[in-house]
Amino acid sequence: MTPIEQIRKSIFGGIQPKGIVMNLINKSNPMASKLIGMAENGDSKGVETFARNLLKEKGLDYDKEMASFKGKLGIK
């Protein structure tokens, strides 16, 4: 085990960086935690519904915003 790995293990108890971030998200933002869980479980419909509702609350149209986003990435 390298010195860096030893330090990380002693500070974080062996938790990987992703685990540290997930712990912070779970404690501070349950909605984000649920969204990440849906994405990890492959619930694309749930993620889309979440995004549609969020954009609707902000007065934006999901389909228009998604088309703009895909256009910026060069996706049709």
Count of domains forming the chain: 1
**Is residue 31 in a domain?**
yes
Percentage, residues of the chain above pLDDT 70: 88
pLDDT tier, 66 (very low <50, low <70, confident <90, very high otherwise): very high
Output Rg (C-alpha) for the chain, integer angstroms: 18
Percentage, residues of the chain above pLDDT 90: 45
Amino acid 6: pLDDT: 72
Q: Which domain holds residue 34?
A: 15-73
For residue 46, give every residue at least 6 positions away whose Cβ sits within 8 Å of its Cβ, in sequence order, or none.
38
**Is residue 32 in a domain?**
yes
**Is residue 3 in a domain?**
no
